[in-house]
Structure 1
Amino acid sequence: MRSAITRLQLRHFQLIRTINDLGQLSLAAERLAMTQPAASRALSEVERIVGAPVFLRHPKGMTASPVGEVLVRHAGLLLSGLDQAADELEAFRSGATGVVRVGAVTGASVAFVVPAIRRLKQESGNPEVRVDVAPSVDLMQGLMQGEYDFVLSRVTPGIDATQLQVLRGRPEHMEFLVRAGHPLASGPRPSLKQLSDYTWVVQAPGMPIREAVDRAHLAAGLPPPQDVVNSASLLVVLAFIAESDAISPAAREVADLVRSMRADGVTTFFSHEPITLPPYHLIRMKSRPLSPIAQRLLELVLEGLSA
């Protein structure tokens, strides 16, 4: 099998990834500027080489077989690596010192990624840094597919942790963002029962903050919040709480950022019953080497986490 795999060509991996993305051979052929017969022949070549079906045909399209899932994953890594090499070469040509791609949950991006980028810029001239802020499920999928050099994320279910190097982590503690003058903004910390009378602006069900909120309520013998606006956008949160008595749980690092910006009309408080999220970690793929500039940014982030 090892010798057979080496016979696969770049065009084969491009076709595998595109079919997986679009679910149909005809659409994949169109995107790759191939005729459908040529795409069909190329897929047949792959299946002859690996000795097994790569995609399962259904009336509504195609899905990867177990063998196909392996090839899809490695196609993503291979093609992402080529894209990264092209980005780095272009960065050097333009006078920059390299390209780094990082993903992080919101609190980690504010507390550790941004300060590390500032230090990197001071040390290394003009590196190009891309930072995506997203839920852990998207970050881990992106890391596995080669979209990021490293992430600050939680390891989500279904991820093969044996492929990961999981470094230092941090838990997240929740505060509440409210308008200045909110009835609960002064005095003792309110209980979750008191908070249940207000509209909550919070992440959708299944997201980490929402799960932490629901767990805290259940631990206190209370039903989860009923009057809810689902949003993970800080801009939406700030706009919503500015003109109402709504409340919004946010990671302490985000609350610190809001305070440091001295956002007019916004204040924060803790609830009587603490709300804590499971820790996120600094994570990279074991099998994927980092460029010197990405390695340096990882070291700077790690220094911040270790402080």
Structure 2
Amino acid sequence: MLVHANRLQLKDFRLILAIRDTGQLALAAAQLAMTQPAASRMLAGIEQAIGAPVFHRHPKGMTPTPIGEIIARNAVGLLNNLDRTLGEVHAVGLGRAGSARVGAVTGSAVAFVVPAIQQLKKTAAKADIHVDVAPSDALIAGLLKGEYDFVLSRIPAGTDARQFNIRRGRVEVVRFLVRESHPLAGQKLSSLGDLAGFEWVIQAPHTPMRQAVEEAFVTRAIPLPDEIVNTTSLLVMIAYLSSSDAIGPISREVGELLGPKGIESGLVALELDEPIIVNPYHLISRKNHVMSPLAQHLRELVVATMAGEGGE
């Protein structure tokens, strides 16, 4: 078994992924602009080279065997890295300095990624940089697929952390965002009880921010808000807060960005005597993943920015 697996070519991996994703040989062939007989012959050659079936054949379609799952899972990273390599070659040909892809939770994106990119652009003005802001589970899933060079994220429960290089990051301090005309704006607040009775717009259940806020309510024996709008979009939160008396828990960094000394969004941040702390996020990359010089430089700038703010 697997005696000739080293003979597999990129087109073989693309076919395996296409069959896994579509569940049908005919659909996979169409996706790759091949005829079905040609795809069938290619799959037979793959299984002959491996010495084992890659897919189970069923009346309604095809599903990967355990060996097929392993090949498909690794094919995702292989093909993503190939696409990124070709993209970097193209970027160099255009006179750019290369590319980097970063994922981050909102607070870390504002506090550390943006300043690092601004610093990087001073010496790499034509660098191709992509930044995604998303919840931690989506960021870690993307990192494992090879979509990011590194992420600023938490590690979701059930994820094997041994596959990552992890640099300790920062905790998030919660602020409460409201519009400037909100009844609580400008008032001195002493406890969460002062926020009772208002509508909330907040991240979905089971997210770290939501869990930290709800735990603070429960610990202080304060009833949880009855009226809640759930969203992962900062833009939706801002729009909702701007046109209602709702309250939106956000990180301190986002509060500073949107507050009176920031971009003058018409929103202000409320602060309590007892701060609410969210579990820390970390700087995470995959082991054995070789970053481009540009991505490595950006990571170093993020680390320096975090250290400058008192991180480790």
Structure 1 partner of 2:98: 98
Question: Identity over the aligned pairs, expressed in percent?
Answer: 50
On the 8 A contact 1:136/1:155 being kept in 2, the answer is yes
Matched, 1:36 2:47: no
> Deviation of residue 234 (structure 1)?
1.9
SS at match of 2:4: helix
Higher mean C-alpha deviation, range 189-198 or range 92-101: 189-198
CA deviation map 1:188-225 (0-9, x unaligned): 32533332311111112232222222222232234543
Structure 1 partner of 2:276: 275
Aligned pairs (5 A) from 1:57-68: 61-68=61-68
SS at match of 2:213: helix
SS at match of 1:239: helix
Give me the whole-angstrom Cα distance separating, in 2, the residues matched to 1:51 and 1:68: 12
Give me the whole-angstrom Cα distance separating, in 1, the residues matched to 2:110 and 2:124: 21
Structure 2 partner of 1:146: 146
Structure 2 partner of 1:136: 136
Matched, 1:287 2:288: yes
SS at match of 1:76: helix
Q: Residues 81, 262 of structure 1: CA spacing in aligned structure 2 closer, same or farther, 3 A cutoff?
A: closer
Matched, 1:203 2:210: no
**Aligned-partner residue type, residue 152 of structure 1:** L
Aligned pairs (5 A) from 1:1-307: 3-56=3-56, 61-259=61-259, 260-307=261-308
SS at match of 2:151: strand
Give me the whole-angstrom Cα distance separating, in 2, the residues matched to 1:268 and 1:228: 19
Higher mean C-alpha deviation, range 14-23 or range 101-110: 14-23
Give me the whole-angstrom Cα distance separating, in 2, the residues matched to 1:119 and 1:143: 24
**Aligned-partner residue type, residue 182 of structure 1:** H
Higher mean C-alpha deviation, range 161-170 or range 249-258: 161-170
Higher mean C-alpha deviation, range 151-160 or range 36-45: 36-45
> Deviation of residue 41 (structure 1)?
3.4
On the 8 A contact 2:3/2:49 being kept in 1, the answer is no
Unpaired runs of 5+ residues, structure 2, are none
> Deviation of residue 258 (structure 1)?
0.7
TM-score under structure 1 length normalisation: 0.91
Q: Residues 49, 303 of structure 1: CA spacing in aligned structure 2 closer, same or farther, 3 A cutoff?
A: same
SS at match of 2:221: coil
Give me the whole-angstrom Cα distance separating, in 2, the residues matched to 1:128 and 1:255: 28
CA deviation map 1:245-284 (0-9, x unaligned): 1000011111111124342421111245432221111111
SS at match of 1:187: coil
On the 8 A contact 2:2/2:49 being kept in 1, the answer is no
On the 8 A contact 2:2/2:52 being kept in 1, the answer is no
Q: Residues 217, 35 of structure 1: CA spacing in aligned structure 2 closer, same or farther, 3 A cutoff?
A: farther
CA deviation map 1:77-126 (0-9, x unaligned): 11111111111111111111101111111111111111111111112232
On the 8 A contact 1:213/1:224 being kept in 2, the answer is no
Give me the whole-angstrom Cα distance separating, in 1, the residues matched to 2:106 and 2:166: 19
**Aligned-partner residue type, residue 162 of structure 1:** R
Give me the whole-angstrom Cα distance separating, in 2, the residues matched to 1:247 and 1:58: 53
Q: Residues 215, 20 of structure 1: CA spacing in aligned structure 2 closer, same or farther, 3 A cutoff?
A: farther
On the 8 A contact 2:237/2:248 being kept in 1, the answer is yes
Q: Residues 185, 83 of structure 1: CA spacing in aligned structure 2 closer, same or farther, 3 A cutoff?
A: same
Give me the whole-angstrom Cα distance separating, in 2, the residues matched to 1:66 and 1:194: 55
**Aligned-partner residue type, residue 206 of structure 1:** H
Higher mean C-alpha deviation, range 175-184 or range 292-301: 175-184
**Aligned-partner residue type, residue 278 of structure 2:** L
Give me the whole-angstrom Cα distance separating, in 1, the residues matched to 2:200 and 2:271: 15
Higher mean C-alpha deviation, range 185-194 or range 262-271: 185-194
**Aligned-partner residue type, residue 25 of structure 1:** L
Q: Residues 182, 285 of structure 1: CA spacing in aligned structure 2 closer, same or farther, 3 A cutoff?
A: same
SS at match of 1:257: helix
**Aligned-partner residue type, residue 168 of structure 2:** R
SS at match of 1:6: helix
Give me the whole-angstrom Cα distance separating, in 1, the residues matched to 2:45 and 2:214: 51
Q: Residues 295, 190 of structure 1: CA spacing in aligned structure 2 closer, same or farther, 3 A cutoff?
A: same
Equivalences, count = 307
